[in-house]
Amino acid sequence: WCREGEILPTHSWYVGYAPFENPEIVVVAFIFNGDEGSQWSAPVAREVMAAYFQIDSYAPVEEEPAEGADQLPQDGTSPNDPSPTDVDLPEENDTLSPAATATP
C-alpha cells in the first residue's frame, strides 16, 4: 500500500504489560490516525493499567446504593422490560410465506 510521494497518516500504538515480574495484564492501545504513540496511546494504556491495579488516583469510588435500588426486580430484568405477555408470539404451526419475509 505504499504510494510514491503520498504521505499517509500514522497510527498511534502502545503495547505494555505489568507488573514487570510475573505479569498479570497486557494492554494494547491503538488509535487510528493517532500520530505518535507516546502522545496518544501511551496515556490511554497507562489509565487502563492504573484502573486494573486500582491505583489511588484511579480507584473506583464506592457509592451508596441509589434511592429505590432495593425495589428493582431481582430476576435480572429492568423495570422497562416488556413482560412475556406484552409480546405477540407466533403460534406453533404458523409459517411465513417468502413474500411476507422478503424486504425490498
pLDDT at 27: 96
pLDDT at 16: 95
| Per-residue model confidence as pLDDT tens for the chain (104 residues) | 556 777 777 888 999 999 999 999 999 999 988 877 778 898 899 989 988 988 766 555 566 665 655 565 566 555 555 555 555 555 665 554 444 444 44
Contact 31, 41 (CB under 8 A): yes
> C-alpha grid cell for residue 13?
500504538
Rounded to 5°, angle at Cα 29 from 28 and 32: 130
pLDDT at 19: 92
Report CA Rg, the chain. Answer: 26
pLDDT at 97: 47
pLDDT at 89: 55
pLDDT at 78: 56
Q: How many CB atoms lie within 10 A of CB 42?
A: 17
Residues with Cβ < 8 Å from 36, sequence gap 6 or more?
Answer: 10, 12
